[in-house]
Amino acid sequence: MHIPEELLEPYGEHVAKIRLEAVDDLAEWPTARYVVVTAVTPTPLGEGKTTTAIGLGQGMAAIGRRATVAIRQGSMGPTFGIKGGAAGGGYSQAVPFEALNLHLTGDMHAVTAAHNMLAAILDNHLYHGNALGLDANNVTWRRVLDVNDRALRNIVVGLGGAEDGVARQTGFDITAASEVMAVLALSTSLQDLRLRLGRIVVGYTRSGEPVTAEQLRGAGAMAVILRDALKPNLVQTLEHTPVLVHTGPFGNIAHGNSSVVADLIGIHTGDFLITEAGFGADMGAERFFNIKCRTSGLVPDAAVVVTTVRASKAHSGKYRIVAGKPLPPELLAESPDDVVAGGANLLKQIENVRLHGVTPVVAINAFPEDFPSEHKALTELAASLGVRAVVTTHFADGGRGAAALAEVVAEAAEEESSFHVLYPDTASLREKIETVATRIYGAAGVDYSPTAARQLDTYERNGFADLPVCIAKTHLSISSDPSLKGAPTGWRLPVREVRASVGAGFIYPICGDMRTMPGLGSDPAAFHIDIDEHGEIVGLS
């Protein structure tokens, strides 16, 4: 990567921010091939998407190609909870590791502050007479915090005396679930950010009219808080491949992808831009194609579907796997038949990529416990659809271990792209929901609760019908039922509620119980993170 020095703002010795002028200044530079890394449906075992994206970037260097990697910034809630960090692992990780998993340049805190500024302005508006006529029982804007804290999911504010505000029920979400985070991730410029913040809907009047951040006169202050946060962060891998780390929207209720502005810069900095989409191809990749690419105008050239032997065995439904608990010994025994039994999920996720006209490549992320016969079973599954699969050892071997994958991905990305979105803007909201449900998830149809049906009608009356949809459902199954493994069919998608992220620019139907404020487990990672006698951080993973 070569970005003129005047476009960089150093943050200490190992991190820089990139000025937004780079979007225009680099626009005439050659355009890289655009590759998205996605995966099978996640299991508690972890499939290693981030590690694979970073390893692939290093692998490109190993074959003489220049690559830039673009990933999301991890949330400190999961870092101190059960998931751990989001900087890759082994010899395929981004550094500085500690900074990446903690505050970095403060973008996460800026999102928290901007979001809560609007919440404070909203409650102040209610206190000072509520001139806009907001229905206090139909306020949709909650508060956020970048901590796992289940006690804050449902709270009452305004308790105390008359000067302490209007009493009402509300709650907290984790910062990554904030619409402000999604807005930051999808904005293309500072001016676009300001407009999107103004369009945020915070609640409704008693007659059902939306009330926006612009009407509350809060969007300007939010934009000021977020001005520096919109600049992408530049770090590097252990092998000096450049990495853009920027924004971290949730992958269940938001689109789960790193920022558009980072990609608009990174697409002109080498031969390949490799980015990662959250969760499985039915979620992060579908939203990458239908939300992020719609906004950026960038066209993906190839997709990598990450899988593991252990994930395929988990999708067979034969094993009970609990995060943080020892694995069943039978799962580690050689069994290509179990790999094939769970292979339906991989095949469906390959299909989901192809539905968008993008060429998939399967990356088999190898673990020491795997057997060659199991790798062969996965390779043959992919080959049954005419898809190339490569065993990759980037965790243990860095870029050298991903060189073979890089060769195949480069070949796939250099084929002519026939990318297309799944549905037109002009389709109705119901048509968009049903297209994703039936074609991507394999549902037999969609059932709307009376509340959801009314909300969809209201959004279309309010002029939101041209927005894409971002279906909020479990990430643990292609279906809406987390207990259904593989690639289930014959089920129906239940839409119980529909919300509008008008600032971010999508409608999100809620299908199931989505936790937007995680809790801590009985033995959270926070218990094991400390400072040693030399002042070094220990226990961060």
Which three-class secondary structure string do you get for 293-361? HHHHCCCCCEEEEEECHHHHHHCCCCCCCCCCCCCCHHHHCCCHHHHHHCCHHHHHHHHHHHCCCCEEE
Q: Is the dihedral of CA 49, 481, 457, 144 positive or negative?
A: negative
Stretch (H or E) spanning 212: strand 210-212
User: What pLDDT is attached to residue 515?
Assistant: 81
State the pLDDT at residue 350. 98
Task: Compute the distance between CA of residue 181 and CA of residue 111 in angstroms, rounded to an integer.
Answer: 6
Which stretches in the chain have pLDDT values below 50? none
**Is residue 420 classed exposed, middle or buried when 0-12, 13-18 and 19+ CB atoms within 10 A define those classes?**
middle
pTM across the whole model:
0.94
Distance CA 133, CA 208 (A): 10
Q: Of 32, 31, 33, 35, whose CA–CA distance to 56 is shortest? A: 35
Closest CA to 111 of 179, 173, 181: 181
Domains of the chain: 5-106+229-413 (3.40.50.300), 107-225 (3.30.1510.10), 429-510 (3.10.410.10)
Q: What pLDDT shows up at residue 1?
A: 63
Tens digits of per-residue pLDDT, 292-331?
Answer: 999 999 999 999 999 999 999 999 988 887 766 788 888 8
* Predicted local distance difference test score (pLDDT) of residue 324: 67
CA-closest candidate to residue 43, choices 251, 319, 436: 319
Q: Is 170 in contact with 155 (CB distance < 8 Å)?
A: yes
Give residue 76's pLDDT: 85
H helices of 128-226, in order, are 179-186, 190-199, 219-226
pLDDT at 446: 98
Angle CA(268)–CA(271)–CA(272) in degrees, nearest 5? 85
| Torsion sign over Cα 401, 403, 408, 410 | positive
- Taking alpha carbons only, the member of 378, 345, 384 closest to residue 364 is 378
Kindly give, in sequence order, each residue whose CB lies less than 8 Å from that of residue 11, ignoring residues fewer than 6 positions away. Answer: 17, 105, 233
379 Cβ contact partners less than 8 Å away, ≥ 6 residues apart:
362, 364, 389, 391
Structure tokens at 8: 């960089």
What is the pLDDT, as a whole number, of residue 328? 86
DSSP secondary structure, 359-385, as one string: EEEEEEE--TT--HHHHHHHHHHHHTT
> Tell me, what's the pLDDT at 539?
85
Q: Supply 34's token pair.
A: 């655009």
Q: What is the pLDDT of residues 59-87, one digit of tens each?
A: 999 999 999 999 999 888 888 887 666 78
**3-class secondary structure, 216:** coil
